[in-house]
Amino acid sequence: MSIFKTNNVNIRGKGTSTMMFAHGFGCDQNMWRFITKAFEETHQLILFDHVGAGQSDLNAYDPVKYQDINGYVEDIINIANTLELKEVIFVGHSVSAMMGIMAAEKEPTLFKSLILVSPSPSYINDRDYIGGFSRMEIEELLQSLDENHLGWSMTMAPLIMANSDRAELGEELTNSFCSTDPTIARQFARVTFLTDSRALLPQCKTPSLILQCSDDIIAPVEVGQYMHEQMDNSHLVILEATGHCPHMSAPKETTAAILNFLNN
């Protein structure tokens, strides 16, 4: 089946250097729209939806393949290989940031650099590691999603977005959460919140930019600092932006940080 149908792949831009954008849980490629215009004149842009999200082919969803993060990583590599991409600048939000790190480990020559927007290798506190949640809190969060997908979405999306003075952003994320198939959303949530990718960080040699928001209930500042310490070839920027989606809530600041990284 064509990746253009399976993952709703869209290609735009005029440049020879390639940027691939991967969205996070409950989102779709459209949420990159606030920052992609800044790169269209200088880069070829590859946008796609994870299977189960946005305008992807829901018939392609396989609960066995996507029971862990590796299924999504395979898709990222498949898209890149099918399009014969090389020296890709990978931009991943939230759980997709970790997918990028995993894809770079599997295909070391595929990516030129990684731009990790609000990433987290593990959301669960573990001894000295601060992930933001206890295991019990994560289990309660997932149980709440299991029991009431719409209610969970309407409660959590505005908290994840933050920036309550811009209610339209929280509403957009809420609508995106609510429109996702509940069964797929539950499984993707478990993949997102129960994956522990910390062991991969020291192995990542790809130049990486970690964009961390100053106040994020999903990925606290300590997460970004931990990742930077574990990744030798990384650069950490603590944004003034708040919430978990700075590419939506603070696109100018996010774009400026990415451009500064790419130009240095």
**What pLDDT, in 10s, does the model give residues 85-142?**
999 999 999 999 999 999 999 999 999 999 999 999 999 999 999 999 999 999 999 9
Q: Read off the pTM.
A: 0.97
Strand partners, 234: 208
Give a yes or no: residue 242 inside a domain. yes
Give a yes or no: residue 68 inside a domain. yes
Full domain range(s) for residue 18: 3-122+197-262
Return the CATH number at 10.
3.40.50.1820
Give a yes or no: residue 159 inside a domain. no
Where does the pLDDT of residue 1 fall: very low under 50, low under 70, confident under 90, or very high at 90 and above? low
Give a yes or no: residue 206 inside a domain. yes
Count structural domains, the chain: 1
Q: Which two tokens stand for residue 244?
A: 């978990």
Strand partners, 213: 239
Give a yes or no: residue 138 inside a domain. no
Residues annotated as catalytic are 94, 216, 244
